[in-house]
Chains A and B, each alone.
Chain A
Amino acid sequence: MNINIALFGIAREIVGQSSLTLNAPVGQSAAGLLADLRHTYPELAGLRSLAVAVNNEYAADDVVLHERDEIALIPPVSGG
């Protein structure tokens, strides 16, 4: 399945674009996606934290991703 991932802040700069389309195995979990991305973009592993958001909610490691989900990579937030 193809999934689209929105990228923000330092994650967007590390990857070099504001979104990614990846071919992921059916049943891919949030943790699996993070592991794949850290493998492809090792600088992501140096961040203080990195979360996956699915449909505007933070996703636990075992959340399964679906093709139509709105997926985003959330580097350490610093609003306020």
Chain B
Amino acid sequence: MAKKFTLEEFLELLKKYNVEELEGVEIEGDLEIEFEEGAGIDLTALTAAYTLLSEFGNFLYHSNMALSYLQRLSAMLGIPTPFAMPAMPPAPAVPEVAPPIPEVKIPEKLVEAKFEPYKMEYPGTIEEVTLGATKSEGGTRGYTVTVGGEKSLPFYIFDAKQEYLPVIAVDVFDMRIGLAKAVRMHYDDVMDDPAEWAKKAVDKFGADLVTVHLISTDPLLKDTPVNEAVKVLEDVLQAVKCPIIVGGSGNKEKDPKVLAKAAEVCEGERIMLASATLDEWEMIAEAAKKYDHVVLSWTQMDINNQKTLNKYLLKRAEVPRENIIQDTTTAALGYGLDYAYTTMERARIAGLKGDADLAFPISSGTTNAWGAREAWMTESPIEGDSDWGPRELRGPIWEIVTGLTLALAGVDLFMMMHPGACATLKEISNTLGGRIKGGVADPGEWIFMEG
């Protein structure tokens, strides 16, 4: 299984191979790694580390994406970048405090006290699930993505290390569909070509994975035959190097057949099949097992149903534990997010407390946020509401806040759409997960700032 490295770990490793400097090695924008002829590097040592180098390229690529996420946010929101703000004037010096007038009731000194944080340890660990397979693992993906492995609540890195932070899968559909304007503007040029759509999601918007929804198979839409529909997957696998997720149309009769066929044509790639439900789990679980894919276990905001379905997959279908991710359903901010949050939080806490049937990574269909009228309607239909402002700015934040709330409940994998929302969610996950260094010099400056 491929491992992700931090920069420090990688440099440590190079030292082990007596590589002091990366002289003569160029890492170009397109992530090709080239060695200059006659470069003074012991290539034998480097060969051993070659796979690590490509991992490093991948790491560098993703960390660069992260660095620029916020910088690119306003462009992604489709608004012209405002003029650069003038630098903040230096804070006025804190005025000198007048010496206190002695008074009987004011103590001379502070009472000494030591804050002793409550220590918390959970007996359980969330399962680690890896999506995708590289060449050495029998697939063709450029890298793999691992989720799960938590030993405490989300981003409680002071309790326990959180090795894997949430990842983002951008939704791709196999036919043109209706999307909110703020989302459509980013995909309009690729909506007739799923492979190009996937490529744009990865190359331009920094998606960790893509989800290909084969919705054209719906008898009420195009009713694309199963054998024909899955061809799209081959195109997408060609176009991108990331692991992929495959979804159906929501048609109970056809989805199992579509997903079973998808499992077959993607043999070796460790895709995720989305989704097995309490109605239709057997055929999907069988296919996943036969071709070694991951199954998404999906129920509707009921922790008992989630437990039941997970048990069916584990005990009846005998799907290996490391091949299951669960989804207890995402409701949009303002439209049942509290239920979605609490169901996920309960599932995560149960898993950490030792309920093995619920100790799986959690996936969220965060794109559901766009169903909220506040995300897409031009103005409020309610008389008396304060102005809703431009919807181009409301929609993305709706997706961000929906996702962030659920990240705090324990979501490991987000299925999303708006590039600005993806970028912001990634930034806050990486920040709370302790992967972003630095901060502001004086966090108290807002107290004095003029304007």
A binds B: no
Q: B: which residues have CB within 8 A of A?
A: none
